[in-house]
Amino acid sequence: MFLLTASEMAQVDRITIEQVGVPGVVLMENAGKGATDFYQDLFPDICEKKVVIVAGSGNNGGDGFVIARHLWCRGSKSVKVICLKEMSRLRGDALVNCKIAEKLGIPLLELAGEDHLPEIRRHLESCDFIVDAILGTGLKSEVRGFYRRVIEAINEQEKPVLAVDIPSGLDASSGRPLGVCIKAVATATFGLPKVGQVITPGHNYVGKLKVVDIGIPQSVITEFNPRRVFFDSTEAAGLLKPRQDDSHKGTYGHLLVVSGSVGKTGAAALVCQGASRVGTGLVTLAIPKSLNPILEVKLTEPMTLPVAETGEQTISLEALDTIVAEAKTRSALAVGPGISLNEEPLELVRKLIGRVDRPMVIDADGVTALKGHLEALSSSTAPVIITPHPGEMARIIGKTSSYVQANRLEVAEEFSKKHGVIVVLKGFRTIISAPDGRTTVNSTGNPAMATGGMGDVLTGMIGGFLAQKYDPFDAACLGVYFHGKAADTVCEQKKYASVLATDLLNVIPGEIYSSMTRC
């Protein structure tokens, strides 16, 4: 499902109205009816309750008048609209729908200005539901003055707030509250979802999100060609390649994993198991030679390649030629988890990037190896995927974790374009960005995944899809999606508050199979 910024959505609306010829009032009618349907699905008795719709002066307020009319026509006689601007100042489609509501006898309360705040509060306190139709997706500046006071008054009420298109005060493009923001239990958004509604922190204000079809032709969306996608089950099913009857293990690639050091053998094992669980034909682990006996016991299906090590039982630079030679006969590489922060293995990662002509996913300690050495990425002759968490990303770009978290989309997209790599910026609603401008926001995953080893399994999964010759960007998207989906399934089935990385391993194949049957 495509994601749009506020300006992109405005362009799509404009093309639909001006070039296709669909009147704006028709789009508003479809929006209001669709929102009403959604609210009634969530709360079947809403027409029997007291509903206050708080309307601004723009199209968002116009949508509110349409919602009031549909609730009224469905039997609600306790719906009223609070108009925060004088009705004489309404224009266009909003004015049309205001006049219709007025002729039907729907109570319209003109309460414009701070002098009316006490009366507004009385209406809010006496109702059962509040519909927020104050500010739309075009908001660019911080909410101040009267509107700020109204939004604060709404948030003080302990009752359901239903947002129209977007919670008032939320930046539709960045997901950041602009001074103050409505905290909704549900949001009916129109046409296409907005970036700010699905990324952090915006998703915390949106509640349950419903995308309402308002009649924008698919041809308009196709021609507009949005570059951002909310990656869900439909997207995943569309990318998976069914396994053929006459295939064999060689059909599904051979992943070389470079991972592990003393005390971190579990990371190496989890990478290999993650790769195997997504269907990789063969997996070989390059491991410091003294640790090989441990991994021979921990792993059954993957093979091991003992390589030269340092005195600290980490992979030595002397292993470089051996790993490069091995990589020449492999489909892809997964590099970094658990290799330690000692200088030799970090230098080995940097040299591998320039000497291996196979697609590669780099994670954990391997990402840290890039700190101060981002030029190493330009030496690659094959696609590179990096999978940092916010702390690792902050480390390599010289910023703070809080900066990265506050600007996740911009950080991922800018780094990807500048350095020519695919970025998987991990966290809730993981962002995957490609150098050509494609970006996805992942739809799966939950807080129970905040345990050690999760990233190692993900690295293996992405590497496994790379080894099976998926497009590198698709491999990253699929790995992230099924990683989160497996965790969601474990939590749902087991009712776990936290999930171990190993809990995912037996669930991943079933999730992939279920999606394949949808292809």
Q: Specify the residue for token string 């104050």.
A: 134
* Element (DSSP H or E) covering residue 13: helix 6-14
263's CB contacts (< 8 A; 6+ apart) are none
Domains of the chain: 16-226 (3.40.50.10260), 235-239+248-516 (3.40.1190.20)
Mean pLDDT of 116-135: 98
| Overall average pLDDT of the 238-261 stretch | 96
- As a whole number of angstroms, the distance between CA 411 and CA 390 comes to 10
| 3-class SS of residue 419 | helix
Residue 257, pLDDT > 70, answer yes
Tens of pLDDT, residues 232-243:
999 999 999 999
The whole model's pTM is what? Answer: 0.94
Q: Is 191 left (phi over 0), alpha (psi -120 to 50) or beta?
A: left
Average pLDDT over residues 268-273: 98
Interior CA angle at 182 toward 176 and 185, to 5°?
Answer: 110
pLDDT tens digits, 411-463:
999 999 999 999 999 999 999 999 999 999 999 999 999 999 999 999 999 99
The pLDDT value given to residue 275: 98
Tell how many helices (H) and how many strands (E) occur in the chain: 22, 18
